[in-house]
Amino acid sequence: MKRKSALLWGLVILLCGTAVGLAVYKSTSLGVPFLPGQRQNAWTVEATVRFDANGREVEVELGLPPLKENSEVRQEVASLGYGYQERNLVGQGRRGIWSARSRSGVQRLYYQISLAEEDLRSLGEIKSSAPEVEPSRIGGSESEMLARETLRKECREKSANPETFVTQLWSRLFGESLSQEAGFLRRSYEARIGEGWEMSLLQDFLQMEGIAYRKAWGVILNETLGSQKPVPMIEFYDGRDWEAVEAVAAREAGELVVWSRGDSLLDVRGGNNSQVFFTTIRNMAPLEATDALRNAPAWIGSIAALPVNERRVFRYIALIPVGAFMIVVLRNLVGFNMLGTFMPVLLALSFLEIPLAPALLMFSALLAAGLFFRFFLSRLNLLVVPRVAACVVVVSLLMIVFGLFSWRMGLTVGLEVTVFPMVVLAWTIERMSILWDEEGAGAAMVQAGGSLAAAVLAYLVMRIRTVDYWAQYFPELLLILLAGILLIGRYTGYRMSELIRFKSFVKS
Partner 1 sequence: MKSKWWHRWFLTPGELNRLGVVGINARNGRYLLPNNPRKFYRSVDDKVMSKRLAIEMDIPVPELYGTIESPGDLGKIAKLVKGKEAFVIKPARGSGGKGVLVIQGRSGDAFLKGSGTSLTMEEVRFHAANILGGLFSLGGQRDVAMVEQYISCADEVMAMSYRGAPDVRVVMLHGYPVMAMLRVATKESDGRANLHQGAIGIGIDLTTGITHHAVCHGHPIEIHPDLNSELLGQQIPDWDTVLKLAGLCYEMTGLGYLGADIMIGKEVGPMIIEVNARPGLAIQLANGEGLRTRFQIVHDEALRMQRTASLEERIDFSRGPLVQKALQTKASLAEAAR
Q: Which residues bind partner 1 (CB under 8 A)?
A: 1, 332, 335, 381, 383-385, 434, 438-440, 443, 490-495, 498-508
- Shortest distance, position 381 Cβ to partner 1, whole Å: 4
- Shortest distance, position 380 Cβ to partner 1, whole Å: 10
What's the CA gap between 407 and 118, in Å, rounded? 35
SS3 for 125-193 is: CCCCCCCCCCCCCCCCCHHHHHHHHHHHHHHHHCCCCHHHHHHHHHHHHHCCCCCHHHHHHHHHHHHHH
Are the C-beta atoms of 339 and 428 separated by less than 8 Å?
yes
When the beta carbons of 299 and 505 are compared against partner 1, the nearer one is: 505
When the beta carbons of 77 and 422 are compared against partner 1, the nearer one is: 422
Question: Which residues, 6+ apart, have CB-to-CB distance to 165 below 8 Å?
Answer: 155, 156, 159, 209, 211
When the beta carbons of 1 and 160 are compared against partner 1, the nearer one is: 1
- Shortest distance, position 8 Cβ to partner 1, whole Å: 12
- Shortest distance, position 15 Cβ to partner 1, whole Å: 20
When the beta carbons of 4 and 408 are compared against partner 1, the nearer one is: 4
When the beta carbons of 308 and 327 are compared against partner 1, the nearer one is: 327
When the beta carbons of 335 and 449 are compared against partner 1, the nearer one is: 335
When the beta carbons of 125 and 498 are compared against partner 1, the nearer one is: 498
- Shortest distance, position 170 Cβ to partner 1, whole Å: 57
3-state secondary structure of 250: coil
The sign of the CA dihedral 26, 27, 28, 33 is positive
When the beta carbons of 307 and 335 are compared against partner 1, the nearer one is: 335
- Shortest distance, position 396 Cβ to partner 1, whole Å: 21
- Shortest distance, position 431 Cβ to partner 1, whole Å: 9
- The amino acid occupying position 147 is A
Strand order in the sheet with 242-246: 242-246, 231-237, 213-221, 255-261
- Shortest distance, position 305 Cβ to partner 1, whole Å: 39
Determine the straight-line distance between the first and last CA of the chain, rounded to whole angstroms: 35
What's the CA gap between 475 and 497, in Å, rounded? 33
When the beta carbons of 306 and 434 are compared against partner 1, the nearer one is: 434
When the beta carbons of 5 and 466 are compared against partner 1, the nearer one is: 5
Query: What b/e string do you get for 428-445 counting C-beta neighbours within 10 Å, with b at 16 or more?
Result: bbbbbbebbeeeeeeebe
When the beta carbons of 274 and 337 are compared against partner 1, the nearer one is: 337
When the beta carbons of 352 and 388 are compared against partner 1, the nearer one is: 388
Q: How many residues does the chain have?
A: 508
Cα 217 to Cα 248, 428, 429: the distances in Å are 11, 45, 46
Q: Which residue, 155, 143, 156, is CA-closest to 183?
A: 143
Q: Which residue, 205, 496, 472, 210, is CA-closest to 329?
A: 496
- Shortest distance, position 16 Cβ to partner 1, whole Å: 22
Strand order in the sheet with 73-78: 73-78, 104-116, 42-54, 271-283
- Shortest distance, position 487 Cβ to partner 1, whole Å: 12
- Shortest distance, position 385 Cβ to partner 1, whole Å: 6
What's the CA gap between 185 and 116, in Å, rounded? 40
DSSP state letters, 437-454: HHHHHHHHHHHHHHHHHH
3-state secondary structure of 144: helix
- Shortest distance, position 429 Cβ to partner 1, whole Å: 14
What's the CA gap between 337 and 36, in Å, rounded? 35
Cα 258 to Cα 77, 111, 221, 389: the distances in Å are 20, 16, 11, 47
Are the C-beta atoms of 349 and 320 separated by less than 8 Å?
yes
